Amino acid sequence: SSIMPGKVNPVIPEVINQVAFLIIGNDMTVTMAAEGGQLELNAFEPIIFYCLFQSIGTLTYAVHTFVDNCVTGITANEERCRELVESSVGVITALTPHI
């Protein structure tokens, strides 16, 4: 809940999910429209192009939003990463040939 002090809701990643849902829907529309075309003329080309361009535009905007407001500034906590690796059972795999 956003009423909790210090809590930040992940709205930008949630937007990316919504964009993915839109694009998946557009992909289904394009698929059905392409299947509906007969002979050498596809009367459904307008909806194919509309969905294609909508998907490209929306995804472009979403990626810029995601990078600018979510990804930029993220850095690795090297000390914490080292602690996690050193306490992981996965280290055993590297030691197995030497044991």
Cα-based distances in Å from 2 to 6, 41, 66, 69: 8, 53, 20, 18
Distant-in-sequence, close-in-space partners of 19: CB < 8 Å, separation ≥ 6:
58, 59, 62
How far is the C-alpha of 53 from the C-alpha of 84, rounded, in Å?
44
The catalytic residue among 1, 2, 55, 88 is 1
1 has catalytic annotation: yes
Q: Which residues are catalytic?
A: 1
